[in-house]
Chain A
Amino acid sequence: MRVLGISGSLRRGSFNTALLLHTAALFEAAGAEFAIYEGLRDLPAYDEDFDVKGAAGAVARIRAAVREVDAVLFATPEYNASIPGVLKNAVDWLSRPSLAESALRGKPVAVVGASIGVFGAVWAQADLRKVLAAAGARVVEGEVALGRAMDRFDGDGRLNDSSVADEVREVVDELLAEVEPDDPGALAA
């Protein structure tokens, strides 16, 4: 099983990227490969004129990267009470040119988030869940709202809060379960 992490924050010391890095060991312990997508900053602003000609370059790369994995874990900060433009732009590219062709169609996805404020990007996460579901993804319910992110990682960028670590583990487990449901009867017929 392969899982892709996508961070909505591009900066080098991103707490959201650190949160994704923390999940790598959890996925690997469950026998899944985990990689963080590099290249969100290379995406142009969504332009249907460009898309209808057949997307190439950065767009083709992210669509292929999402298609090739079994699940995607998004980590989002919160800008102006919602999803960062760079992340929404990536979802827009992934979901087009039509919903039938959406790279996210039927894809199990989960959303976590970190912010330096106390609320842990809960609005951005809620908006991102809505957007991903509209893009056809299979969105798991779990949430990690990591507030006051500057206090939750040690000097090496490792998560130092066990209750947050438990929440992260739950979301990872839910995402893995969504890829391989316990009840195969649900997939029958």
Chain B
Amino acid sequence: MSTTETTAVPTGTWALDPVHSTIGFAVSYMAGTFTGGFSQFDAVLADGVFKGSAKVASVQVKDPDLATHLQSPDFFDAERYPELAFASSAIERTGNRIRIDGEITIKGGTEAVEIIGEITDPIADPYGGERFGLALAAVIRRDEFGVSWNNPLPSGEPALSNDVTLIAELQLVKQT
């Protein structure tokens, strides 16, 4: 039996539902994975181009000193580079799988990035709107953006991994 897979991304303009969306990061630190997020961010899919941004100052971790340290020049340097940004150059969909190629800007540096994940077909929501979901992940190397803080473990190995996984769970609502 053959099935026909959807290969199109939704057309038109779709804006972020910020309440029901999250973005964050996961990075190997010492013996486990440390995660954090950003509370202020935006995303839009318009005419086949996906764009997103996040305010560095809205970084969410459990310790206020750590949140401040993450905003300092040791990490994101929020004073000089207040936003993280992404813009797609190509979107490919096969069934519910999606791949988004584009460029991500962190701490003033822009690098190519490949995002992979899943997409849902648009559904009617209870508020009279139409929305679809994206669950996305990308791995970046933080030293490429000058986010190179580290501390050695007693073994001499670095405590904090250079590879960071960026994660987004997004709901986008059709704009009329």
Contact = CB atoms under 8 A, between A and B. Distances in A.
A134 interface: yes
A118 interface: no
B79 A106 contact: yes
B80 A105 contact: no
Interface of B: 64-65, 68-69, 72-74, 77, 79-83, 108, 149
Given A106-B79, A133-B73, A138-B73, A186 B68 contact: no
Nearest to A95: B65
B157 to A, nearest CB: 17
A118 to B, nearest CB: 25
Given A106-B79, A187-B80, A99 B73 contact: no
A134 B69 contact: yes
A136 B72 contact: yes
A178 B149 CA distance: 19
A136 B73 CA distance: 7
Interface in A87-105: 98-100, 102, 105
Nearest to B82: A189
Given A133-B74, A137-B73, A138-B73, A105 B68 contact: yes
A133 B72 contact: yes
Helix, strand, loop or mixed for chain B's interface? loop
Interface of A: 98-100, 102, 105-106, 133-134, 136-139, 181, 186-187, 189
A51 to B, nearest CB: 14
A99 B67 CA distance: 9
Contacts of B83: 189
B74 A134 contact: yes
B60 to A, nearest CB: 15
B65 A99 contact: yes
B149 A133 contact: yes
B75 to A, nearest CB: 9
B148 to A, nearest CB: 11
A136 B83 CA distance: 18
Given A98-B64, A136-B69, 9 more contacts: A99-B69, A99-B72, A102-B68, A133-B74, A134-B69, A136-B68, A136-B74, A186-B81, A189-B83
